[in-house]
Structure 1
Amino acid sequence: MIGRMLAAVAAIALPGVAMAQARPDQKAFFGLYKELVETNTTLSSGSCTQAAAQIAGRLKAAGFKDGDITPFSVPDHPKEGGLVAVLKGSDAGVKPMLLLGHLDVVEAKREDWVRDPFKLVEEGGYYYGRGTVDDKAQAAIWADMLIRFKQAGYVPRRTIKLALTCGEETTYAFDGAEWLAKNRPQLIAAEFALNEGGGGRTDDSGKRQLLALQVGEKAAQNYTFLATNPGGHSSAPTPANAIYELADALEAVRGHEFPVKFTDTTRAFFTATAAGSPKPLADAIRALLANPNDKAADAIVSQDKALHSTLRTTCVATLLSAGHAENALPQRATANINCRIFPGETVEGTLSELKRLAGTKVTVTANQPIRPTAIPPTLDPKIVEPARAVAAKHFPGVPLLPLMSTGATDGIFLETIGIPVYGAPGVFIDKDMGGIHGLNERIRIASLYDGRDYLYDLVKAYAG
């Protein structure tokens, strides 16, 4: 989360950090991380299967047996494989925990980047490269953690499972997390999972501002608006024009606000945000918490686009296509509407509302694939309090807030089989999101190694 909510927390000075890779374990981690970043895992030309095999080799070298590691893929997507690894715990009566990360990355064109996106470049206190943050930082930390546990002879009370998957970044790619949930649910069965989506934010100078524990997310779903007419010669226009009819429907969507809703997570988040915000924002947030139908308060809070999206389902036009010739009346006009659906609300319910807005001249359909309903995890003290306690040790004075992601992760598929998923805090990124999904993706070197240490202690706190 960025924007006004960051102003609600005090900026904490970044403490001095020892030089990266000063410890032997950091050097070993860097080797794994560098290899992973430099392994192209884009859908167009890369291979998650290769990346998973490389990590499996490192796990075996650390002492994991073949039976502890399960590679998986499907024949029609041979390069989109992943792996599940298991570090067995000492108490079979305690349910396992799952560490989830994805190996695939967003496409990156060399001609657009200042540096080669598939070479790990160290410059100005940052590591640059596609996936340095999303999600190879976390995938490398999880894999390295299991290696360190095995090498140290650490036997957790709770079994720790690791799932590294593919397909998270591309709608129609093989989705490893969804496939595992549908086809191998027992392989990843766990009391809870730690995933991407949490982390932390720094300002431009590197000062830590906020630690985030993601507790819940929206469901992403696309819809198609379609207007059709007989068309005809443009010299004799008629009121029945597919472009105008589609434009009217889109204008209705533009002007529509879905109702304000709260989960336990967003209520806790907005309560904390109000405590650190100036008037009139603080008063408006409190008024909205007391009465979600307060339109005046909603107007003030929703001036911040991040807060606006956290309050409700949102739908926005993202693609347009219309007409077939310059001198002909349009026979067809279509638009893609991208919705981020609030937890607990359904694809079908959102479709019904969009149909109402579109009117009778435009048809509305939900695009495949249909995403499952987002199920918000609880603010479980067994999850929240260890995260807060370990943060107090590693990042003293930095507030930790529960956040609902307005985006979407693979966690939504695990929640459908009863595994609550939490976005782990710990790895701080810049307030511009570090170039994630864009050009010159980067992570502060200090943030990577500090986050790695935090997550190591956090997983131990959960695992026992």
Structure 2
Amino acid sequence: MRAAWMMATAAMVLAAPAAAQTRPDQRTFFDLYKQLVETNTTLSAGSCTQAAAQIGTRLKAAGFADADIVPFSVADHPKDGGIVAVLKGSDAKLKPMLLLGHLDVVEAKREDWVRDPFTLIEEGGYYYARGTLDDKAMSAVWADTLIRLKQSGPAPKRTIKLALTCGEETTFAWNGAQYLAKERPDLIAAEFALNEGGGGRYDDKGNRVLLAMQVGEKAAQNYTLSATNPGGHSSQPVPDNAIYELADAIEAVRGYSFPVKFTDTTRLFFASNAKKQPGTVGDAITALLADPNDKAADLIVSRDKAMHSTLRTTCVATLLNAGHAENALPQRATANVNCRIFPGETVDGTLATLKRLAGPKVTVTANMPVRPTAIPPALDPKIVGPATKVAAKHFPGVPLTPIMSTGATDGIFLQAIGIPVYGAPGIFVDPDMSGIHGLNERISIKSLYEGRDYLFDLVKAYAG
């Protein structure tokens, strides 16, 4: 999950009371969810292929034909496979919808965790384990939704496709969503897709304060800055020093702010925030909406790191490597710069900016893989409308806000082939993002089961 907008607050939420497994369908879902969470799908030691096969077995047991379940992998990455499943609709005139999730998880070292990261543990109103949220909660809900719809009948009007893939969490890994978009677009062809990236947020007292639908995201791209010199003995330093030259380039990147941009979604987001924040900040947002080049307004709004990142492309140094000996002048110094590129802006355009900032003595290259240009989906009432209506039933009084994620998901690969992707709301997290990508990842049990019910009703609303 890349809902970086959730990081604006940092207090812990009180544990919500468990509301788990009181219905037979919830107990069935828990079995699926627990098996998925406890199947290790890290890049280093796990197998998405195994997790996908387990989902396939459950789909078959629910009545799906072999022809409607397509496991996929490639010979070079046998453990990075995924699965596509199809629940056929009754109205051929309606284009399919796609439910997208990823099976892989971020690495987790047992010695760093309080609990075994690959054993689902219930404690204090939470489920703890790696992937309890990101993204096995949504992946389990999507698979469970297809099973429930298949077993309950009749067929929905709209065909529903499910794609559970591997490789989302690691930039250099083989990526199942990218593979499907390039090699098997027929399998996932859809009018629109629902994905991670949306959600909800509790405050520090456990109250729901925000429900968000992701309508657009940035593209993640890494660049390498490299300085090289002949080197020599450290007892006779010279002005041309690879470390100093690289440091100057990094300092230039640090001091640069990319220009302010808006999409339809972010314009709506900031207009809404301006009304909620009367005074200096609200006035600055209003001024910036009227004139994106208003530097004074930008300085005020950008004091909030989430708003700063929502306004523009951002680039930040994340890794350094320099020198070869403590008593030698450095022959090489390199840095990785991680950029989150605003929708519509390109990898090459950002590269050109970094080259200009780095100057002639530092080489800048775009690292592989090169991600597609982010394409913002439309604020389509046919998508946002049902999400808002179903939310009013499940989460009364909580406003649903369209947002653009400052992070990135696999949705970018689908957008590149013409499938608009929306981050579905429904599952609420703590202000600290509930340990996603960090230690002791957890999900409120109450949130999981309430989110499951919301997402099931949302899929039904779209599928007719």
**Structure 2 CA distance, aligned partners of 1:111 and 1:24?**
36
What per-residue deviation string (whole Å, max 9, x for no partner) do you get for residues 212-239 of structure 1?
1000100000111111111111111111
Partner of 1:10: none
Q: CA deviation at 1:326?
A: 1.1
Secondary structure of the equivalent of 2:454?
helix
Contact 1:6 1:209 in 2 (8 A): no
**Structure 2 CA distance, aligned partners of 1:265 and 1:366?**
28
Q: Post-superposition, which runs of at least 4 consecutive aligned residues in structure 1 deviate over 6 A? A: none
**Structure 1 CA distance, aligned partners of 2:41 and 2:251?**
39
Partner of 1:303: 303
Partner of 1:345: 345
Secondary structure of the equivalent of 1:80?
strand
What per-residue deviation string (whole Å, max 9, x for no partner) do you get for residues 400-444 of structure 1?
111111111000000011000000000001110110011000000
Q: CA deviation at 1:167?
A: 0.7
Q: CA deviation at 1:172?
A: 2.0
**Structure 2 CA distance, aligned partners of 1:146 and 1:135?**
17
What per-residue deviation string (whole Å, max 9, x for no partner) do you get for residues 356-415 of structure 1?
001111111111111110000000000001000000000001011111111110000000
What per-residue deviation string (whole Å, max 9, x for no partner) do you get for residues 61-97 of structure 1?
1111101100000011111111000000001111000
**Structure 1 CA distance, aligned partners of 2:10 and 2:324?**
47
Q: CA deviation at 1:278?
A: 3.7
What per-residue deviation string (whole Å, max 9, x for no partner) do you get for residues 81-121 of structure 1?
11000000001111000000000101111111000000000
Superposed, 1:235-250 pairs within 5 Å as: 235-250=235-250
Partner of 1:219: 219
**Are residues 121 and 3 of structure 1, via their aligned partners in 2, closer, same or farther at CA, if it must alter by over 3 Å?**
closer
Secondary structure of the equivalent of 1:2?
helix
Amino acid at match of 2:294: D
Partner of 2:47: 47
Alignment match of 1:2 (pick from 6, 22, 38): 6
**Structure 1 CA distance, aligned partners of 2:24 and 2:70?**
28
**Structure 2 CA distance, aligned partners of 1:320 and 1:80?**
30
Contact 2:88 2:159 in 1 (8 A): yes
273-282 vs 356-365, which deviates more?
A: 273-282
**Structure 1 CA distance, aligned partners of 2:118 and 2:325?**
42
**Structure 1 CA distance, aligned partners of 2:17 and 2:334?**
53
**Are residues 39 and 434 of structure 1, via their aligned partners in 2, closer, same or farther at CA, if it must alter by over 3 Å?**
same
What per-residue deviation string (whole Å, max 9, x for no partner) do you get for residues 166-223 of structure 1?
1111122220000000010011000000000001011122110100100010000011
Q: Any gaps of 5 or more consecutive residues in structure 2? A: none
Q: What TM-score do the two structures reach when normalised by structure 1?
A: 0.97
203-212 vs 442-451, which deviates more?
A: 203-212
**Structure 2 CA distance, aligned partners of 1:275 and 1:241?**
52
Superposed, 1:116-131 pairs within 5 Å as: 116-131=116-131
- Tell me the percent identity: 78
**Structure 1 CA distance, aligned partners of 2:38 and 2:140?**
12
Contact 2:18 2:126 in 1 (8 A): no
Q: What TM-score do the two structures reach when normalised by structure 2?
A: 0.97
Amino acid at match of 2:270: F
Contact 1:59 1:147 in 2 (8 A): yes
RMSD: 1.5
Are 2:168 and 1:168 equivalent residues in the alignment?
A: yes
Contact 2:216 2:404 in 1 (8 A): yes
Partner of 2:274: 274
Contact 1:253 1:316 in 2 (8 A): yes
**Structure 2 CA distance, aligned partners of 1:304 and 1:18?**
34
**Structure 2 CA distance, aligned partners of 1:230 and 1:57?**
60
**Structure 1 CA distance, aligned partners of 2:139 and 2:169?**
14
Amino acid at match of 1:39: T
Secondary structure of the equivalent of 1:82?
strand
